[in-house]
Amino acid sequence: MTQVRKFHTGALLSITTRIAFQVPGYEYTLACVYDILGFMCGEEPYTHSLPRFRVEALPYLLDQHPWLRDVTYPPCPAGEDKKQHATDWLQKICAQYGEWFDVEPIPMDDHDILSPEEDLKRLGFKGTIITIDPSEGDNE
């Protein structure tokens, strides 16, 4: 049986629009992005891996909820408060489409599981990566 979780419309739209919406139940704005991408991809994302997770998850999210393809975030008019603009728009979308949606994970074969070091190297990081294993601490 496929695992399913309900996510707020704002979480789905944070993935499709690349605008981080404040979603009920999350302490900070990006928390819903970490949560939905971690759920869909089957592992907790690091900040630098969010774009890769989004690329992997987006086609599946759009297949599960085709209406998302038709929703475009309108530019904020000059002089208007951006946070209020986003909040008002999200409320309008929730009223039109609904507030909570079932989301399924992507197939594990379609997600690259990389260590943080591998992911940084994939991004072109050429510096020294220091890995610390807390289990190898001083036992005094």
40-82 pLDDT, tens digit each: 998 888 887 889 899 999 999 999 999 999 999 999 999 999 9
Query: Given the structure tokens 């289990």, which residue do they identify?
Result: 135
The residue to which tokens 């591998």 are assigned: 118
What is the pLDDT of the chain when averaged over all its residues? Answer: 86
Percent of all residues in the chain with a pLDDT value above 70, rounded to a whole number: 81
Whole-prediction pTM = 0.80
Does residue 87 surpass a pLDDT of 80?
yes
